[in-house]
Structure 1
Amino acid sequence: MRWLYLYFPSLQLDQLAVQYPAQPMALACPKRHQLLGVNSLAAAAGVKVGQSVATAVLLCRELQLFSPEPARVKQLLQQLAERLYQVTADLALQPPDALLIRVSSMLKLYPDPARYWQQLQLQLADCPYQYLAAAGQTPLAAKLLARSGQAELYLTPAAEQAKLALCPLTASDLPAASIEQLARLGIRQLGPLLALPAAELARRFSQDVLQYLAALTGRVLQLPQFYRPRLQFNRELQLHYEITESPQLLKPLQPLLQQLQQFLRRANLLCQRLQLTLQFRQHSPLPLQIRARAGEACAANWQQLLSLHLAQLQLPEPVYALQLAATDYVPDQRASCNLLAQRSQPLSKAQLLSVLVARLGEQAVVTPLLSLSHWPEAESSASTLAALPALNAALCYQLRPILQLPKALPLTEAVTLLSGAERLEQLCWQSGTLLQRDYYLARTEQGQLWWVYRTPQQQWYLQGWFS
């Protein structure tokens, strides 16, 4: 069984390098004032891991210092796992900075391991993260080769054992006390440790050393917990600089919307609502709700809706961070489009409603709503889209015009009756009078279809028009 270990030694610094290109940077422990990581530009200036902050600043005056963010690094590792999950099945997170992949389960799909490795590289090609990759017969063997800097992928079992023998014990998962004890005996590499008899190891060292060597050599197999993606999209972004005008937020939102589009298309889902949360220094966070009536996956369409919302927004103070979360998922059951059709397609009804709501607001867009009353003046009303209930099919009458007058008008033109009478009655409980009407489908001399009625007094009125 072959395993592949992907080691990302500087996830946070590589992510910061996108925001601050050509800038020496380092991670510093806030309590001990000691450097935990440096980028290549800082290393070229003589800055090293383990130095004090004061020494590092003296060596490089342009050095930018950042505090470690474990939650941010965990999120970056999660995003890498989501990306690689598209081409590989058995994948395990190795916090805080690595991924473990079981290669043997994918060799039926990729008989050539080199082709499989190319597919993984394609997924990592547009990522800004440095990584080291190593393969081994066991998970711990692949991990030890990667963390010791030996990026080996196609080793024979004999060559792998030779490479492992040269690995320093400081790169292993042995307890620090055991590593120090072995160093006092002159054992600093794995080879001399493996050469010791098992009885000698059991007598002189702790049980942790024996268990580690058993897992490393494959005598005991420890399967990791494999990763399964969650159907949840939630991304945070620290801005390069504070933004004071709301329309300027569209530019940093573009990569987040592209990630949303990839997430939805991989899961064959549509999203009906986005929540954009703006973070301020002093003011409380400001959440914005952006809706797509029938669901949307395209980043360009979400960007259009966001631009309409942001154009009307007044920021209380500059924004320094963003959070974009997707909710209300529905399956993507849209019919496939014609490949020969023109690219410019008109907006659908649901897209048009989403644009109108984004521009005018929820309360400004209303739709007709049927009620339980059979009386024409009371059977329909206007409702906002946000409060629109599910329509009952039993309320949809067969012979009703789309355009109805709120108050009937006297009929002044000659018409031809096309249907029999439909009698409607309503008893007024206050006065005791009975209202009675006979409704007909009628056609005018110009060919228009009208809905008219006659009262018991033989008076004719116009109630509405058919389209």
Structure 2
Amino acid sequence: MLWAYFHFYQLTIDSGGEKDNTAAVIVYEAKTNRVRQCNAAASSAGVAVGMGMAQAAALCQSVSVIDYCEQREAHRLMALANRLYQAASDIVTFTPDGLALRLDPLIRYYEGLENIWQVLVNELNAAKVKYAFGVGWSIEAAKTLAMNKANQLFHRNEQIRQALSACPLSATELTDKQRNALKRVGIHSLQQLLDVPASELGRRFDNTLISYLCALRAETFPRVNYYSPPDTFFSLIEPSYEISHTEQLLPFMRNLTDEFLTFARLRNRFSQQLCFSLCFREIPSMTLTVGSAAPLFKVKQWESLVSLKLEQIVLPAPVVKLTLQVDELEDVDEQTSDFFNNRVHEFAQKQLISRLQARLGESVIQYPYAGDDFRPDQLSSFQQNNVKVERHHPLPCVSLLSPAPLDESPHIEYGPVRIQTGWWDGNTVKRDYYIGRTDDGRRLHLYRDSAGAWFISGMYC
């Protein structure tokens, strides 16, 4: 067996949607009077997990405090499990901040361990969560490595054993009482514990420690309950700040919609109605229902409807929590076959990108994107991160890297559109753009410069 364990050590902060990444944020649990999570800005100020509130406030006076809620964090963990379920089906949840995934059945399906690993990493990066991971021959071994922040993908058992030997006892699931008992018999590290036969430990310690040690060594495999997605969808987001303007709600509602569409794609189902709830601190929540006359399966399509709906409401108070619940799901039939086709295309694209990243490296993979420049030859560019940018200009599907002289006489179907700009960077242009159609039916993106010469800048498909 081969397991991966992901420890989401600041899941509440990641799901809160920080407006300023440079601001110090901590998650505080009042019941135990200790800091549960802190972001990079708080850590750089000296705040650490486990501190009391007074000490954290003394080290960083401008820190923002989020109250810890285990149930809320468990909801976010289930959303991550549902997101990863489209790539791996053997998932075990460890509430409130851990997921274990079995990798060995997927190696053949994805044609290599690196390929499946890249798929998982891409999904977690898209979810914008921070995590530490470990890969081991059992869940217990992978979790120990994750708690020690090994963050390495191991292929061989010898690598796993060496990494486990370097872990302290505090990274294991042993209780303080068990660790103190081991220290009294001279066992101060995990390497010493792994070297001691279980029969010898059985003379001094109870069955709980022996069972855990056998699972850590992969000598036994405890039974686990695999994650099974629910039949209906429910998810929530509690921002780290109060929202007073409706336009600020749109990014959070987009994230909830994206989670639902992933949930629906796994079941080949859809819904024509989304039911949002806007929760306030002191007054009853507001229900916001967004409906569609036709099946929609893209985030951008739903986002436009949600945006129109938000324009019609006025918030009676700042929003402190958003939820999305969808109870009625419809089956995909022949009239909604585009929904299924898009599902196949999307997952095939993700697998292709993950394989390219695994084989060639992330640094050489580039994505086309459209910027906000009026000059068509300056509009299209490439970047390493797959960030979607809205395109504001109707450009041809194929743009030439450098314009080609026009050596035929196409029929002008549209134009001219004069573009005379570029004064800010010294690359001034004065051109008249046209759309021309050749005798064989091809449509070309053409322009004529100030000297009267004609060029081809792109082609329409």
Alignment TM-score > 0.5, same fold: yes
| SS of residue paired to 2:278 | strand
Give the Cα–Cα distance (whole angstroms) in 1 for the partners of residues 280 and 267 of structure 2.
33
| 2:75 pairs with 1:44 | no
| 2:278 pairs with 1:278 | yes
- After superposition, the Cα gap between the structure-2 partners of 1:220 and 1:85, relative to the gap in structure 1 and judged at 3 Å, is same
Q: Give the letter aligned to residue 259 of structure 1.
A: E
Higher relative CO (Cα under 8 Å, sequence separation at least 6) belongs to 2
| SS of residue paired to 1:253 | helix
- Gap runs ≥5 in structure 1: 339-467
Deviates more, 1:324-333 or 1:14-23: 14-23
Q: Give the letter aligned to residue 70 of structure 2.
A: P
Give the Cα–Cα distance (whole angstroms) in 1 for the partners of residues 144 and 48 of structure 2.
23
Q: Give the letter aligned to residue 81 of structure 2.
A: A
Give the Cα–Cα distance (whole angstroms) in 1 for the partners of residues 247 and 47 of structure 2.
40
- After superposition, the Cα gap between the structure-2 partners of 1:277 and 1:158, relative to the gap in structure 1 and judged at 3 Å, is closer
Q: Give the letter aligned to residue 11 of structure 1.
A: L
Q: CA offsets, 1:279-320, max 9 Å, x none?
A: 223322222334335544344443444455444445444433
Q: Tell me the residue number matched to 1:98.
A: 98
- After superposition, the Cα gap between the structure-2 partners of 1:239 and 1:112, relative to the gap in structure 1 and judged at 3 Å, is closer
Contact 2:28 2:53 in 1 (8 A): yes
- 1:2-401 superposed matches below 5 A: 2-16=2-16, 18-239=18-239, 242-243=242-243, 249-250=249-250, 252-335=252-335
Give the Cα–Cα distance (whole angstroms) in 2 for the partners of residues 286 and 4 of structure 1.
40
| SS of residue paired to 1:126 | helix
Measure how far apart 1:237 and its partner are.
2.8
| SS of residue paired to 2:328 | strand
Q: Give the letter aligned to residue 142 of structure 2.
A: A
Deviates more, 1:162-171 or 1:295-304: 295-304
Give the Cα–Cα distance (whole angstroms) in 2 for the partners of residues 32 and 250 of structure 1.
35
- After superposition, the Cα gap between the structure-2 partners of 1:17 and 1:182, relative to the gap in structure 1 and judged at 3 Å, is farther
Contact 1:275 1:290 in 2 (8 A): yes
Contact 1:269 1:297 in 2 (8 A): no
- After superposition, the Cα gap between the structure-2 partners of 1:251 and 1:49, relative to the gap in structure 1 and judged at 3 Å, is closer
- After superposition, the Cα gap between the structure-2 partners of 1:156 and 1:201, relative to the gap in structure 1 and judged at 3 Å, is same
Q: Give the letter aligned to residue 33 of structure 1.
A: N
Identity of aligned residues (%): 30
| SS of residue paired to 2:231 | coil
Q: CA offsets, 1:51-103, max 9 Å, x none?
A: 22222212211112222121121112111111111112211112222211111
- The RMSD of aligned alpha carbons is 2.6
Give the Cα–Cα distance (whole angstroms) in 1 for the partners of residues 303 and 197 of structure 2.
66
- After superposition, the Cα gap between the structure-2 partners of 1:128 and 1:298, relative to the gap in structure 1 and judged at 3 Å, is closer
Give the Cα–Cα distance (whole angstroms) in 2 for the partners of residues 198 and 255 of structure 1.
48
Q: Tell me the residue number matched to 1:417.
A: none
Give the Cα–Cα distance (whole angstroms) in 1 for the partners of residues 77 and 67 of structure 2.
18
TM-score of the pair, normalised by structure 2 = 0.66
- Gap runs ≥5 in structure 2: 339-461
TM-score of the pair, normalised by structure 1 = 0.66
Q: Give the letter aligned to residue 326 of structure 1.
A: V
- After superposition, the Cα gap between the structure-2 partners of 1:202 and 1:20, relative to the gap in structure 1 and judged at 3 Å, is same
Contact 1:269 1:332 in 2 (8 A): yes
Q: Give the letter aligned to residue 23 of structure 2.
A: Q
Q: CA offsets, 1:138-172, max 9 Å, x none?
A: 22112212212222322422332232223211111
Give the Cα–Cα distance (whole angstroms) in 2 for the partners of residues 49 and 245 of structure 1.
33
- After superposition, the Cα gap between the structure-2 partners of 1:289 and 1:198, relative to the gap in structure 1 and judged at 3 Å, is closer
Give the Cα–Cα distance (whole angstroms) in 2 for the partners of residues 143 and 101 of structure 1.
11
- After superposition, the Cα gap between the structure-2 partners of 1:297 and 1:51, relative to the gap in structure 1 and judged at 3 Å, is same
Give the Cα–Cα distance (whole angstroms) in 2 for the partners of residues 63 and 94 of structure 1.
29
- After superposition, the Cα gap between the structure-2 partners of 1:130 and 1:248, relative to the gap in structure 1 and judged at 3 Å, is closer
- After superposition, the Cα gap between the structure-2 partners of 1:96 and 1:204, relative to the gap in structure 1 and judged at 3 Å, is same
Measure how far apart 1:271 and its partner are.
0.7
Q: Give the letter aligned to residue 324 of structure 1.
A: L
Measure how far apart 1:13 and its partner are.
2.4
Measure how far apart 1:128 and its partner are.
2.1
Greater Rg by CA:
1
